[in-house]
Homo-oligomer: A and B are copies of this chain.
Amino acid sequence: MRNIRIVIEYDGTDYCGWQIQPNGISIQEVLENTIAGITQEPVRLTGSGRTDAGVHALNQVANFMTHSSIPCSNLLKGINSLLPCDISVKEVRDVDENFHARYSAKSKAYLYRINNCSVRSALGYRYAWHISESINIETMDESSRVLVGTHDFSSFCASDGDSENHIRTVTSIGISGVAGGSIEVHVEANGFLRYMVRNIVGTLVDIGKRKITADEFRQIFEARDRTKAGITAPPQGLYLKEVKYI
CB distance from A121 to the nearest CB of B (A): 6
CB distance from A64 to the nearest CB of B (A): 19
Residues of B contacting A72 with CB < 8 Å? none
Would you call A125 an interface residue if the criterion is a C-beta within 8 Å of the partner chain's C-beta atoms? yes
Contact for A10 among B8, B85, B123, CB less than 8 A: B123
**Bound form: Cα–Cα A112–B56 in Å:** 25
Contact for A88 among B56, B88, B121, CB less than 8 A: B121
- The reply to whether A122 and B11 form a contact with Cβ atoms under 8 Å apart is yes
Residues of B contacting A126 with CB < 8 Å? 85, 126
CB distance from A147 to the nearest CB of B (A): 27
Would you call A1 an interface residue if the criterion is a C-beta within 8 Å of the partner chain's C-beta atoms? no
Interface centre among A121, A123, A124, A125 (most CB of B within 10 A): A123
Would you call A127 an interface residue if the criterion is a C-beta within 8 Å of the partner chain's C-beta atoms? yes
**Bound form: Cα–Cα A192–B9 in Å:** 36
- The reply to whether A123 and B119 form a contact with Cβ atoms under 8 Å apart is no
**Bound form: Cα–Cα A89–B120 in Å:** 9
Residues of B contacting A218 with CB < 8 Å? none
Residues of B contacting A87 with CB < 8 Å? 122
Interface residues of A in 1-53 (CB under 8 A from B): 8-11
Chain A residues near B (Cβ < 8 Å): 8-11, 56, 58, 76, 80, 85-90, 119-127, 239
